[in-house]
Structure 1
């Protein structure tokens, strides 16, 4: 009998609620306590007890039993924001400006925020993509921090945003095209960053104030923005701007009577003395021009139709020009693949037969003209992909990486995975990075375009728990990826290769690692579009930084390498694969969840997923452990002995319940199970870390 996961969710939430007393919503209490601890437990706040609303905690505003505002500007707060703000679904105002808070801005933020002010702190890393889903945002102020990387936010749903301040950071890359959807924006501060490209995407926004000074913007300033923009410190193009593309509506200057009291230049038409308009208006001139164009087109059409045949030279001229619609019908009857507009064939859609139809040699060509032209029969033309090198990551040379890795010496080898070896790279400026050298058997030398496309896709993945790609190298047929380096190495080494200098992972750290990887998978599965199936989740691909925050490595790699499934299937038998992967060879979102459950079981037991040194009945970890997950006595005997019993029994039991949900038979597992797993962690995390 399989227990309905939805019923399990209700039971778990119920037990979590019972575990916390007080009038304030228990989710809000647990979230504020995690926030308090993450901010180094500031004594000046006097957050004591378990009832923020009833006890009137400083900076906390409530409505009923729900927290609605957290306003703590200028309180000399330090530390970070933690990882459990999302359950606070009634919070609309979060103001922690003018403090000394740092770290990355958490991906999980209150879902219904209207005002978010984190200005004048020390936040670093990327702006979280999750802000794309905060549809109620009116004011977003992240100015005066140390934020980096490209502005990877989708603004399409932020139609209520009125004020955006990202000034005085280190943001790079072009402005996203989705900024054109900011239909309510009035104030925008982007100055003192490293932004590039043009600002054309801002041209038609209803802005009153715009500051883009001290960036690397280029191109021309749109006419609509010239009266409001602060622009110094950029490389603007000089001279008159090029005309807009055909069909572009004319620029309309904004009426700013509320500021200047005058009329905009476009308010009135041309006048003559006493105000009489000229005899021919703009509409009349346009009508004349259009009439001339139409008549000219008709004349050209009949001249072309009267030509009995095309010469060979005419055809040569057409080779590099798109075909008019009426000519496409004619050319379909010819066996001249060089003339067919290949852009009409979408190779990613349903396969299309490129076999040319029979052609009549005498229909459009003279025989003597065409006989000298080579003809390729029944051979489809291969469309060469045009791949643009990514601009948001650095391109390294082979020489740079050889110097940094000691010519890829064994002493710098960090590990070897399914796709290649990873080396430690020490650069002159003191920066340490990790370099993955992809095996030629995985990505052959002649697949450079595929590699650049792979890099471009992976460079778009930004999450605090996903290892960040910072660069790449594609030279002399070699393909290398450069990632951020994490000092504490992999979770596999920490669990299974302890040395005299490392201490065992405490229970809090294990739960923190599980939660971080759950969030990384939620990002890959639910936020990325299309979803990214990792395919290779294992403890060796979970890297730990100095604070034991987990970072999932190789994210996206298996999704974009053409023969990745074959490579991974060749390495089967590790114990992480879901049963259906072994049967079909196909990876899915559900198989990722299964592998995640195996990692959790690894964290709980300290055992390897498959260990041939153990008795036969205990070699396969999932098979051995699953029957014991709901037996509290047997569960206690399964726990990693290095923990020495230092864990809360209730937390252990819930941890085991989540594992059971992940590794159950896939045929009865529905997709929302992973959503359920993540929500279980968020809801119960306060109880899970009790010691």
Structure 2
């Protein structure tokens, strides 16, 4: 009995110990390591603020187990981050996409600067960055936050157009973008916000209409103090609408298009508490009741309107037929009449039936007062012979030369380039040769003489349109178009000149004056080029695919800042892709380009990754002089990018080991993403920019630690070596 009792007591004691041990484990649960890394990155990007009280010792790396301020967890995953009103400075952290269980991120009412990172928590529901000093754009990646219910970015300094696709944001119920400097029209995809109830867009610089918001289930909408135009959609007049400070159209709105459903009865009554502007005209109850008494609903009115239009079209058809039977003498009299303006009805009748072949656009007067003279008429061909019902009227767009670029004569450019002498030749690319032009006033420009095989002699008007399109591209890292020439069948573009030539020459053409690029310069060149591509892909409207990214098209100024050349050229030149495909085998093109011949944003990203490989290794993308396994740079380098020992052996020998290992590894990580064989897995350029910015930011923080640390002081800052090792 004693033995049995002793055994029972031991069993109970063992159970008690196990229970106590499990309680201790649950009390000190270790946070998911990925979440810990992300939380640390947030702490570092905020300049390690002491007011948070987060521990810095590795032994306490457990925000869930030790209840860090502002952090809420479920099990071992971080689910909420509330860090508002804490006077935090610094920037928003990168790598937030690793917080896959995070549903709330609130960093509002602080002093944060910089841009909103492209990488955001993928399952976040509430995102609040309001009342900070954030700049840049609203990142396109918000389009992928399919669980988002509340987005608040108000009172920042966000700029440019709202480049977000709202089609997948059906759960979004509140959107606040107020008090920023956002521009452009509202995206049409806003009409897909089926769950939206509150929207604040006031105090921006939005333009266009708000028609895309007409059928949304909104209860409250504020669009005050923008540049909106057009009419207020009828449905929005019956919600809490604030709309002052815009340029709304006055007078009655145009009738809805045929097939538009009638307003619901519930929308025919005002809601209380409206703050509406007096410019919006509500239909009176008398008008509504009168429609009901007459028995004609909105559907009947639409039917009557359609019937009137149909009858009017038949009458107009017979009038035109009657006009077409005028005698030849009448037509001759019409063709020879004085240059005085025609009566408006006759002008309308003539212009409505002329084909594109009748238009002589070159003779159109572009002055303020245009004399309306009828076009020449073929007297040997009756109006019946023209197949108006079968041939659509095509009116060619009148393109004028841009005012912000200069028109040069061919004689001027011949003088400045020594009649395009080979001594002035800078480069020979896919579309033509580039010459150095020296002007009498000391100015030096670059003249691109486009081959006649690229643009035919009779391409003058279309060339002016190309010039006009390229002239709108303005970015610090894009080579600026200065002027053009289109004479005697010659087509030339005049660009700003950069004295340090191309990146290709810097890396691969050595002479007694050339110096190798230090690591800092290589990172700066990569970041500047990435920003240029981000501008073309994600800022320009319409977007621009470069199609010809290579080191020879990256020009360096006196401070080694990069300037991407040939931007927009391949987008507007006919058959540009065929011309570029003839140069296949350079090592810059992605595999899908070789298969389809088509260039995309993703193929640009691949080519940029190849340029980064050039910067890393100092090798050409394809070098037939090397052993066969090493001829293709991408094929040779890609398997070694994540091996730190192999990576050290790949680095350009001209660097002589003067580079930081961590920076080198992160640089290689970006390359690996860009040159992935599957285009869908390559990142957008905005994400590439963010990764390179993060690389530089980490390096700058390390530099501050190195410079001001107690062990090193600042004694080494007088030499160049610490600066070389910074990034």
Query: Which residue number in structure 1 is paired with residue 156 of structure 2?
Result: 145
1:447 to 462, 470, 488: 462
> 1:585, 1:287 → 2: CA distance?
51
2:652 paired with 1:644: no
Deviation (angstroms), 1:312: 7.0
- Superposed CA deviations along residues 497-553 of structure 1, whole A, max 9, x for unmatched, are 99999972269959x9599969979x969x999998653233456799999999987
CA distance in 2, matches of 1:221, 1:583: 50
The separation in 1 between residues aligned to 2:386 and 2:308, in whole angstroms, is: 38
147-156 or 620-629, larger mean C-alpha shift? 620-629
Indicate yes or no: 2:613 matched with 1:601. Answer: yes
Superimposed CA distance per residue, residues 374-401 of structure 1 (whole angstroms, 9 cap, x where no aligned partner): 9689xx97975776999xxx97522599
Query: Are 1:168 and 2:190 counterparts?
Result: no
* Partners of 2:605 and 2:682 within 8 A in 1: yes
Distance apart, 1:190 and its partner CA = 1.7
Whether 1:202 and 2:213 are equivalent positions in the alignment is yes
Q: What secondary structure does 1:54 align onto?
A: coil
Query: Which position in structure 2 is the counterpart of 1:57?
Result: 68
Match of 1:136, SS? coil
Report which stretch shifted further, 237-246 or 149-158: 237-246
Q: Which residue number corresponds to residue 321 of structure 1?
A: none
Q: CA RMSD in A?
A: 6.4
In structure 2, the partner of 1:27 is 34
1:222 aligns with 2:236: no
How far does residue 118 in structure 1 lie from its aligned partner after superposition? Answer: 1.4
Higher relative contact order (CA 8 A, sep 6+): 1
Aligned-residue offset at 1:556? 6.7
Does the 8 Å CA contact 2:405/2:481 hold for their aligned counterparts? Answer: no
Whole-Å Cα distance in 2 between the matches of residues 584 and 87 of structure 1?
Answer: 35
Displacement of 1:599 in angstroms is 3.1
1:38 aligns with 2:45: yes
Q: Which SS does the other structure have where 1:69 is aligned? A: strand
- Residues 339, 26 of structure 1: CA spacing in aligned structure 2 closer, same or farther, 3 A cutoff? farther
Distance 1:418 1:189, change over 3 A: farther
Q: 1:469–1:481: 8 Å Cα contact kept in structure 2?
A: no
1:538 aligns with one of 529, 533, 550: 550
Q: Provide the C-alpha distance between the structure 1 equivalents of 2:192 and 2:486, rounded to a whole number of angstroms.
A: 43
Moved more, 250-259 or 180-189: 250-259
Q: What is the alpha-carbon distance in structure 2 between the residues aligned to residue 198 and residue 109 of structure 1?
A: 30
Q: Which runs of 5+ in 2 are unaligned?
A: 1-28, 275-280, 328-351, 357-378, 418-424, 436-444, 703-726
Q: 1:636 to 1:241 in 2, by over 3 A?
A: closer
CA contact (8 A) 1:437 1:481 kept: yes
Aligned residue pairs total: 577
- For 1:593 and 1:97, how far apart are their aligned partners in 2? 34
**Closer, same or farther: CA 340–492 of 1 in aligned 2, 3 Å:** same
| CA deviation string 1:430-487 (max 9, x = no partner) | xxxx99979476565332586389669x98x9xx9x978999999979897999x999
Between Structure 1 and Structure 2, the one with more helix by share is 2
Contiguous gaps of at least 5 residues in structure 1: 1-21, 272-276, 317-337, 343-368, 424-433, 664-668
Q: Within 2, Cα distance between the matches of 1:210 and 1:78?
A: 32
1:94-173 aligned at under 5 Å gives the runs 94-173=105-184
Rounded Cα–Cα distance in structure 2 between residues aligned with 1:293 and 1:223: 19
Please state if 1:74 is matched with 2:89.
no
CA contact (8 A) 2:143 2:169 kept: yes
Native 8 Å contact 2:634 2:675 kept in 1: no
Tell me, in whole angstroms, the C-alpha distance in 1 between the residues paired with 2:517 and 2:102. 39
Aligned partners of 1:473, 1:90: CA distance in 2, in Å? 54
The 8 Å contact of residues 395 and 473 in structure 1, kept in 2 or not, is answered as no
Q: Which has the larger radius of gyration?
A: 2
| Compared CA separation, residues 298 and 86, structure 1 to 2 (3 A) | closer
Distance 1:643 1:673, change over 3 A: farther
What is the aligned partner in structure 1 of residue 519 from structure 2? 505
* Partner SS for 1:68: strand
TM normalised by structure 1 equals 0.61
1:576, distance to aligned residue in structure 2 (A): 2.5
